[in-house]
Amino acid sequence: MNKRELRTILLVEDSMADAEMAMDALSDAHLANPVVHVEDGVDCLDYLYSRGAWATRGTVDPAVVLLDIKMPRMNGFEVLTKMRADERLRRIPVVILSSSREESDLARSWDLGANAYVIKPVDVDQFFEAVRTLGQFWAVINQAPEQG
Amino acid sequence: MKVTDVMRWRIAGLLLAVLVIVGLPYVVTLANTRGTRQAVEWVIRSNATKALTYQIAYLTRDSEAASYRLLVGDGNDLTRQRARRASTEVPGLLQQLRVMAQDNPQQQIQISALEGGINGHLALMAQALSRLQQADPAGARQSLRDAGDLFKINAPIANIVQNEDKLLLDRQAAAQRQTFNTSTVLTITALAQLLLLMIIVVTSERQIGRRQVAETRESRAELRSELILQAVREPIALFDENLRSLLANTAFCELYGLDPQQRSQPLAHMGEGAWSDSVLLQRLTDVLLRDRELWDYDLIQRTVDGVDRHVVINARRLQQGDTMMPALLLTVSDVTSRALVEQQVNELNRQLEGKVTQVSDVNRELEAFSYSVSHDLRAPLRHIAGFARKLEQHLGDRLDDKGRHHIEVIAGSAQRMALLIDDLLVFSRLGRGALRLQAVDMQSLVDEARALAESGVRDRRIVWTVAPLPMVIGDENMLRTVWQNLLSNAVKYTGQCEVARIEVSVQQDRNGDYQFTVADNGAGFDMQYADKLFGVFQRLHRPSEFPGNGIGLANVRRILTRHGGRVWAEAELGHGARFHFSLPATDLAGART
């Protein structure tokens, strides 16, 4: 079991500042799982399908995808739609991590099959707490089905 | 069906009556005439019979008398001739008498008796004459005496005459009886005729009366329809098959400047060219010739008053009652004002559509703006706060108190701006989203809001007075926001009271509109600034007195406006405030969701 490659936490975030804060928060959580940061939806799918820049990464799915909504090229909703439509990717947990607290964004995320929706708090402490908890929950506490 | 039956029976009855009236008297009179003629005949015959009988008697007596004169020698040739005359003439007369009475057996018997007597008489008289010639006067006298003694002829003659008289009497009586019967029948017939004639007269009188009433009614109806036609404000006219006027009502005459008395004017010349539209004239001719109705033909006509009128023409073919010639009924509807109104309505609609498009454009822009605000505006604030913290950590011991304070202000301001953005987004959403109307229990909303308001405070004495509240129609979430704002305000602004009194009540006005009131005994406010109370981010108190960012009452006003209600407040500085809001009456039963 320990021999097996540890699943990654995939952070999909176009804002470098947000990404840096999130990485800080995750490293605060002292997780064993590596954190991988990609900058938009296209990159995210490349990673999930191990293609393009990620062709050599192997085929292990991430433990969780922390997905921003508003991104250039391909946004979070499009990524989520494609993942849920794909037999291989549909079971990967996806947590929407967004600045928006608009009802329409929440509803759409849940409708598309997100596993959680977390609003990024402006308050630094709250933000750190939120991201740390997320990482711990999805990487450690949550049990995902064996990869098929 | 029934009517023709009745008619047929009536005709049959009438024919029968005529037959009775004319036929019966004829038959009766005919029979009567025949009877009279027979009676006359009978009298003549009786008289003739009697005359013949007397003649036979006379001839016989005369010959007898002549024979007696010859016997006494007082005779000449003429006397001799007289004496022989009876024997030559009487047998023929007797034969005649027998023929005349051949239908009467009783007379035949008497005639036979007479004949026997006469023949005996004549034979003895002949014997007497021959005895006289042979110069035997005594023998001759004896023969004559024998004739008188042996063959008496008086009795049969009297019998015959008597019989004939009796017969005549009988026949006269019969004839009288018949005459009486006849006159009775004639009287009855006359009475029947009289009766029938009376019935006919009465019936026909009644028929005539009825017809007169019907005619009066008809002429009255005609007059009435004429009056109606003239009074109708729509121009109506009737034209013959050459499109010449037969009839035009006042409205038609006025509109096209016609003399109401003048008939038979061609349509094409009316109203100074108002009817010169060749297509219309063709269509009207079609109506006349081919019985095609003309429906709502639109036309702009310049009428004699020089106004361009928008009219709608309708026409159909009629049969003229007396001649069966086709006629054209033409009606004109002046829809100028209607058309104008329609045009205005269309224009207004167009403007309204433009406005709606503008509004929805604005709404779309607002939506895009909100989206951008919620996604993009918050992130930099987070970064400011986040990196201020990183800076603080990075500097560590090198950071003095002043530097730490600056970083705190930076982080706090970012935090506060994020809250303001959140409030603005809520406010904006309240104006945009659709109302989800349903039955809402105000009582439970108040209970909920009260619990929430109290949960934020400790060590306070608050006396609540909540009246029973009704069900209303509205958006439950929005109305919840209203109560939460009003009640939390009431709790907040009574913070400095020893005992806070908060009262929730409701009134219903005559229209069924509800007016809710939240009254408190708190800080109140200066009515001078009341108009600022419901503005966005407007505050009447300093944050150091009462915290808050001034969005709550703006939300309340926006929600109530969207529900068709309103909100207002009255207060006195230091003596509490009363917030009222109204909701229009709604049909609860019809709006269950």
Residues B426 and B439 occupy one common structural domain: no
pLDDT in tens, B502-537: 999 999 888 888 999 999 998 888 888 888 888 877
Residues B123 and B71 occupy one common structural domain: yes
> What's the rounded mean pLDDT across residues B470-474?
91
Is residue B202 a part of any domain in this protein?
no
pLDDT > 60? residue B591? no
- Model pLDDT, residue A2: 43
Residues B471 and B569 occupy one common structural domain: yes
CB contact under 8 A, A124 and B411: yes
- What angle is formed at CA B424 by the lines to CA B421 and CA B430, rounded to 5 degrees? 145
Q: Which of A107-121, B99-113, B343-357 has the lowest mean pLDDT?
A: B99-113
User: Whole-model pTM?
Assistant: 0.49
Residues B35 and B118 occupy one common structural domain: yes
Cβ atoms B481, B518 nearer than 8 A: no
| 3-state SS assignment for residue B173 | helix
Specify which of A9-18, B105-114, B295-304 reaches the highest per-range mean pLDDT: A9-18
CA distance B82 to B85: 5
Last residue of a domain, one of B334, B366, B392: B334
> What's the rounded mean pLDDT across residues A15-27?
89
Is residue B394 a part of any domain in this protein?
yes
Question: In this complex, is the C-beta atom of A23 within 8 Å of any C-beta atom belonging to chain B?
Answer: no
Which pLDDT band holds residue B592 (cuts at 50, 70, 90)?
A: very low
Query: Which DSSP string corresponds to B226-240?
Result: HHHHHH-SS-EEEE-
Last residue of a domain, one of B157, B173, B191: B191
Cβ atoms B468, B446 nearer than 8 A: no
CA distance B413 to B170: 163
CB contact under 8 A, B382 and A18: yes
> What's the rounded mean pLDDT across residues B269-277?
80
- Model pLDDT, residue B321: 67
CA distance B432 to B472: 22
pLDDT > 50? residue B343? yes
- Model pLDDT, residue B590: 45
CB contact under 8 A, B375 and A103: no
Residues B460 and B426 occupy one common structural domain: no
Residues B428 and B438 occupy one common structural domain: no
Contacts of B414 in chain A (CB under 8 A): 122
| Average pLDDT taken over every residue of chain B | 85
Q: CA torsion A28→A31→A33→A37, rounded to 10°?
A: -10
Residues B429 and B450 occupy one common structural domain: no
Question: In this complex, is the C-beta atom of A108 within 8 Å of any C-beta atom belonging to chain B?
Answer: no
Note which residues in 342-381 of chain B have CB less than 8 A from chain A: 370-371, 374-376, 378-379, 381
- Does the domain spanning A9-96+110-124 belong to CATH 3.40.50.2300? yes
CB contact under 8 A, A69 and B411: no
CA–CA distance from B499 to each of A51, B306, B459 (Å)? 70, 83, 11
Q: Residue B582's domain spans which residues?
A: 434-591
Is residue B528 a part of any domain in this protein?
yes
Contacts of A100 in chain B (CB under 8 A): 371, 374-375, 378
Count CB pairs under 8 A between chains A and B.
Answer: 60
Residues B345 and B327 occupy one common structural domain: no
> What's the rounded mean pLDDT across residues B98-113?
84
Report the half-sphere exposure of B330 (CA within 13 A, side-chain side): 31
Closest to A15 (Cα-Cα) out of B376, B418, B391: B376
The tokens 């009134």 sit on which residue? Answer: B507
Is residue B207 a part of any domain in this protein?
no
B378, B386, B388 member nearest A99 (Cβ): B378
Residues B355 and B403 occupy one common structural domain: yes
- Model pLDDT, residue A50: 92
Percent pLDDT > 70 in chain A is 95
- What angle is formed at CA B576 by the lines to CA B570 and CA B580, rounded to 5 degrees? 40
Which pLDDT band holds residue A48 (cuts at 50, 70, 90)?
A: very high
Closest to A134 (Cα-Cα) out of A77, A103, A88, A95: A95
B371, B414, B415 member nearest A102 (Cβ): B371
Percent pLDDT > 70 in chain B is 98
Residues B518 and B465 occupy one common structural domain: yes
Question: In this complex, is the C-beta atom of B383 within 8 Å of any C-beta atom belonging to chain A?
Answer: yes
* Helix and strand totals (H; E) in chain A: 5, 5
CA distance A23 to chain B (A): 12
CA distance A69 to chain B (A): 9
CATH label of the domain that carries residue B310: 3.30.450.20
Listed in sequence order, the residues at least 6 apart from B482 whose beta carbon sits closer than 8 Å to its beta carbon are B555, B556, B559, B560, B581
- Model pLDDT, residue B467: 93
CA distance B155 to A3: 192
Task: Select the more confidently predicted residue: B175 or A51.
Answer: A51
Q: Which of A86-95, A117-126, B13-22 has the lowest mean pLDDT?
A: B13-22
Sign of CA dihedral B491, B492, B494, B499: positive
Query: Which DSSP string corresponds to A29-52?
Result: TT-SS-EEEE-SHHHHHHHHTT-G
Is residue B355 a part of any domain in this protein?
yes
Residues B461 and B554 occupy one common structural domain: yes
Is residue B501 a part of any domain in this protein?
yes
Question: In this complex, is the C-beta atom of A123 within 8 Å of any C-beta atom belonging to chain B?
Answer: yes
Percent pLDDT > 90 in chain B is 17
CATH label of the domain that carries residue B497: 3.30.565.10
pLDDT > 50? residue B218? yes
Is residue B531 a part of any domain in this protein?
yes
Last residue of a domain, one of B289, B313, B334: B334
Q: Which of B146-150, B426-430, B542-546 has the lowest mean pLDDT?
A: B542-546
Residues B408 and B483 occupy one common structural domain: no
pLDDT > 60? residue B145? yes
Backbone angles phi, psi at B566, to 5 degrees: -150, 170
CB contact under 8 A, B375 and A100: yes
Sequence length of chain A is: 148
- Model pLDDT, residue B587: 61
Which pLDDT band holds residue A3 (cuts at 50, 70, 90)?
A: very low
> What's the rounded mean pLDDT across residues A75-99?
92
pLDDT > 60? residue A1? no
CA distance B382 to B391: 14
Is residue B282 a part of any domain in this protein?
yes
- Model pLDDT, residue B435: 84
- Model pLDDT, residue B374: 77
Number of domains in chain B: 4
